[in-house]
């Protein structure tokens, strides 16, 4: 994929881009991970495109439409590590509860704190949001209303 095509193709909730040549341990791990995550888009771009996105010329980057984006992979060259990174990166720091997040919250057995409230502008919501940032990756923070939704 060309650099120009990459900029126009990356969209959606979560997209994983491999920058570099079609070879090596990272590429093989990327391809294996791509086969196990059918709900995300996977792209390949030449290493020269990486610099424009703050990425390594031989690396993985996730573009997402929430929280901080893009985020770059710095872990081991192993599929299990990449899959774990994708799973963690696919969830916002503060989750608005919906059917979309039932699997990561309940299906994967992640520890979670759920705040049920309809008072979105109260001070305790701000404290909850700050806690979600400081404990990101350790526990999921979920907020849900009590009047609408599931």
**DSSP per-residue codes, 91-140:** S-SEEE--GGGHIIIIIT---EEEEE-S-TTSHHHHHHHHHHHHTTTTSE
- What three-state secondary structure class fits 144? strand
CATH tag for 3-89 (out of 1.20.1740.10, 3.30.70.260, 3.40.30.10, 3.40.50.300) = 3.40.30.10
- Which pLDDT does position 143 carry in this prediction? 93
Question: What gap in Å lies between CA 124 and CA 134, rounded to an integer?
Answer: 15
Question: What gap in Å lies between CA 18 and CA 16, rounded to an integer?
Answer: 7
Q: Is the pLDDT of residue 7 over 60?
A: no
The number of C-alpha atoms within 13 Å of 20 and in the hemisphere containing its C-beta is 17
- How much is the pTM? 0.79
- Which pLDDT does position 1 carry in this prediction? 55
pLDDT class for 38, splitting at 50, 70, 90?
confident
The 10s digit of each residue's pLDDT in 46-66 is 888 888 888 888 899 998 888
> Taking the domains of the chain in order of start, what are their residue ranges?
3-89, 94-144
């Amino acid at each position: 994929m060309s650099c120009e095509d990459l900029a126009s193709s990356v969209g959606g909730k979560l997209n994983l881009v491999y920058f570099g040549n079609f070879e090596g341990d990272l590429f093989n791990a990327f391809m294996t991970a791509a086969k196990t995550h059918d709900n995300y888009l996977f792209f390949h771009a030449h290493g020269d495109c990486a610099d424009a996105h703050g990425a390594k010329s031989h690396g993985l980057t996730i573009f997402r439409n929430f929280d901080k984006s893009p985020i770059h992979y710095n872990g081991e060259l192993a599929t299990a590590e990449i899959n774990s990174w994708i799973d963690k990166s696919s969830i916002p720091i503060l989750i608005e509860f919906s059917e979309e997040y039932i699997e990561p919250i309940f299906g994967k057995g992640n520890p979670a704190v759920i705040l049920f409230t309809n008072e979105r502008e109260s001070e305790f919501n701000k404290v909850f949001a700050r806690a979600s940032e400081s404990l990101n990756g350790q526990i999921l923070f979920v907020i849900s209303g009590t009047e609408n939704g599931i």
